[in-house]
Structure formats: C-alpha cells, structure tokens
C-alpha cells in the first residue's frame, strides 16, 4: 500500500512473487556493477599515477647523467703554443712531401736517361700573343673588371725544391706535372719494350749444338763453285730440331719458295723482316702473331741444299744484313 503524507488517496500495489524477485535481482545487479566499475576506476588511476612517477624518475636520471661542459681554461699562451705546434707539424709535412717529390723527380730523370727518352719540359708557356707591338682602342662603358686569362704563366715547378716553405699550390702543381710526366714515361717505356721485343736478338735454333756452316757475304757457291753473295747465314743443327722466331712479329709467308724450300717470313715492324728457309716443315700459317722463342718449324733440307741446315736472313727495309750482328742472346 502507498500512503501519501498529505490528504491524497491511498493506493494499493499488488506484486506477485516472480515480479518481486525480479526487482530484487535487478537492484542487486546494479549494486555489483557499480561496485565493479568503481573498483576498476581506482585501479586505473593508481596505474596512471605509477607511470607518471616512473616517467619523472627517468627524466631525472637522464638529466643527472649530462655533465655540463667545463669552461675553457686555455690561456693566451696556451693558444700561442698550440698554434706554434700545429705550424711546426704543417711545415714538417710540407718538407717531407717536397723531399719525396725530389726523389720522384730524380728517379724519373734516371729512368729517362737509362731508356734514352728525352727530358720533359715541365714549364708552361704563356699565350703566343705578342705584347711588344702597338695597342689601342677606345674604352667601353662596362667599367673595370677582373679578367683571368686561360693561359696564365705558371712558374716552373722545379722552383719548389729551392724554397724553404713552398706553397700548397706549387706542391699540387708539381704533383700533377710529375704524374703526367710519369704517365708519359710509362707509355714511352711500353713503346720501347715493344720495339725491343720486335728486334731479332737470338739464334733461331733451339738446339744448343748449332754451328754456322756458311756466313753472310761473298762465298764460293757449293753448286757452281763460283763466288756469289750469300744473303743469309747457314746454321747447322740436328735434323728436325725446332726452329724458333727470333723476335715478336707477324707471319707473312709460310709455304714452299723455290730454291729456299719450305720457308717462313716474319714481319717485325720498323722495316725489319726475318727469313727461315730449307725447313722440314712449318708449324705456323700466314697471319699468325708470334713471340720470341715461339716454334715456327723444324730444321730440314728442303729446296736447293747440300744437307740439313737452316738458311736464316735478317732484312732491313728489304735489304739483307749480317744476321750474326743480331745474335745477342
């Protein structure tokens, strides 16, 4: 029953047992839910507080590890001593570099002297424009400007070797000049090495028991018994022994050549040619590039001959010369 405090009418509410238990369960569920969320909120608040505290502790530790930089205590004398030490080290380095460049220059001069290559002029000339004649022309309204000519006069780098304190620019210039000079020297040596490799300088028979049976020049012909000029040098050795090229070159002929029999001709460049005749067989063909000591055939007695031997010629600009003069090795 619901009885009001004022004069209102009294009301009666009838609830069944099921409805009553439903209301009780609802009230109990709301109470537990409120208690759970309240407890959860307190736990989260505690954790957030703990995290903030950890953050403040880490910031404090990081700040405590930073050591403030001590103010500079160098005096004017300390600065002066430091500057003097650095200057002395710089001058010692410059002196060492200059000495090394001097040794490189001396070695380059020795190499050029040994190889016969001419010394290289390291000085640069100015422009060929003559400054001795008349000059003229009106001025323009462009005003005075600084003009740097492309062909400025550069002092010979050799002057750095007489200076007590050469500038870094002169040293760099000298390094560049010596580098270019050495590069040209190497190229010249390569050319010279190729020329040496192409110069006949050995006996064309690999058999050490060789001997000369008929030298270059006038002789009595073994068939006609008349005095005739012999264009080659006859070298006797064991029949079938290897015949080798006497220098680097290119095979221009490898076939049977009348009285000379089986013959190989090699062009060595610079007008030099060698001829190997009376061979038993040839082991090269036209167009082959050969090196000194490469086997080109076997000693035989083909063609017009009285017995096994090698007819060897050296020709310079088409003319036969004494091949014995080329037996250097």
Quote the Cα angle for 78-81-82, to 5°.
85
Closest to 311 in 3D by CA, of 261, 267, 269, 273:
261
pTM: 0.51
Task: Answer whether 108's CB lies under 8 Å from 178's CB.
Answer: yes
Give me the percent of the chain exceeding a pLDDT of 90.
31
Name the packing angle between helices 76-115 and 168-197 (round to 10°): 20
pLDDT of residue 160: 53
The answer to whether 313 and 272 are in contact (CB under 8 A) is no
Question: CA-CA distance, 324 to 211, in Å (whole number)?
Answer: 12
Looking at residue 159, its pLDDT comes to 47
- CATH number, span 211-326: 2.70.70.10
3-class DSSP assignment, residue 264 = strand
Domain boundaries, the chain: 20-57, 101-120+153-197, 211-326
Alpha-carbon distance of 295 to 284, in angstroms, equals 8
Confidence (pLDDT) at 145: 35
CB 327 within 8 A of CB 277: no
Q: Which residues does 258 contact at the CB level (< 8 Å), separation at least 6?
A: 303, 304
Q: What is the pLDDT of residues 162-172, one digit of tens each?
A: 555 566 677 77
pLDDT tens for the chain, 329 residues long, are 667 776 667 777 777 777 778 878 888 888 877 777 777 778 777 777 877 787 777 777 766 665 555 555 778 888 788 888 888 887 777 777 777 777 777 777 777 776 666 766 554 433 333 344 444 444 444 344 333 334 433 444 444 555 555 666 777 777 777 777 777 777 777 888 888 899 999 999 887 789 999 999 888 888 778 888 899 999 999 999 999 999 999 999 999 999 999 999 999 999 999 999 999 999 999 999 999 999 999 999 999 999 999 999 999 999 999 999 988 76
Residue 229 CA to residue 232 CA, distance in Å, equals 9
pLDDT (tens digit per residue) in 271-289? 999 999 999 999 999 999 9
Assign 329 to helix, strand or coil: coil
Kindly state the helix (H) or strand (E) to which residue 83 belongs, with its residue range. Answer: helix 76-115
Query: How far is the C-alpha of 261 from the C-alpha of 278, rounded, in Å?
Result: 5
Tokens of 97: 């570099």
Specify the DSSP element, H or E, that contains 269.
strand 262-269
């Amino acid at each position: 029953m619901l009885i009001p405090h004022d004069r209102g009418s009294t009301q009666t509410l009838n609830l069944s047992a099921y409805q009553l238990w439903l209301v009780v369960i609802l009230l109990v569920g709301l109470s537990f839910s409120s208690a759970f969320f309240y407890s959860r909120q307190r736990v989260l608040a505690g954790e957030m507080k703990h995290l903030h505290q950890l953050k403040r502790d880490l910031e404090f530790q990081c700040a405590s590890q930073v050591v403030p930089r001590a103010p500079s205590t160098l005096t004017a004398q300390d600065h002066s001593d430091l500057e003097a030490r650095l200057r002395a080290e710089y001058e010692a380095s410059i002196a060492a570099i200059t000495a090394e460049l001097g040794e490189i220059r001396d070695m380059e001069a020795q190499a050029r002297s040994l190889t016969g290559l001419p010394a290289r002029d390291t000085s640069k000339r100015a422009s060929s424009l003559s400054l001795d004649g008349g000059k003229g022309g009106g001025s323009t309204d462009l005003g005075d400007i600084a003009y740097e000519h492309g062909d400025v006069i550069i002092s010979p780098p050799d002057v750095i070797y007489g200076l007590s304190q050469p500038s870094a620019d002169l040293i760099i210039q000298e390094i560049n000049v010596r580098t270019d000079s050495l590069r040209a020297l190497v190229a010249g040596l390569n050319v010279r090495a190729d020329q040496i490799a192409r110069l006949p300088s050995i006996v064309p028979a690999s058999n050490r028991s060789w001997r000369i049976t008929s030298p270059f020049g006038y002789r009595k012909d073994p068939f006609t018994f008349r005095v005739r000029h012999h264009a080659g040098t006859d070298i006797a050795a064991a029949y079938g022994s290897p015949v080798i090229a006497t220098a680097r070159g290119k095979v221009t002929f490898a076939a049977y050549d009348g009285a000379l029999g089986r013959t190989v001709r090699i062009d060595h460049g610079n007008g030099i040619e060698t001829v190997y005749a009376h061979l038993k067989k040839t082991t090269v063909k036209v167009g082959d590039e050969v090196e000194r000591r490469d086997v080109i055939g076997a000693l035989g007695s083909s063609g017009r001959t009285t017995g096994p031997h090698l007819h060897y010629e050296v020709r310079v600009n088409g003319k036969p010369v004494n091949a014995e003069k080329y037996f250097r090795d």
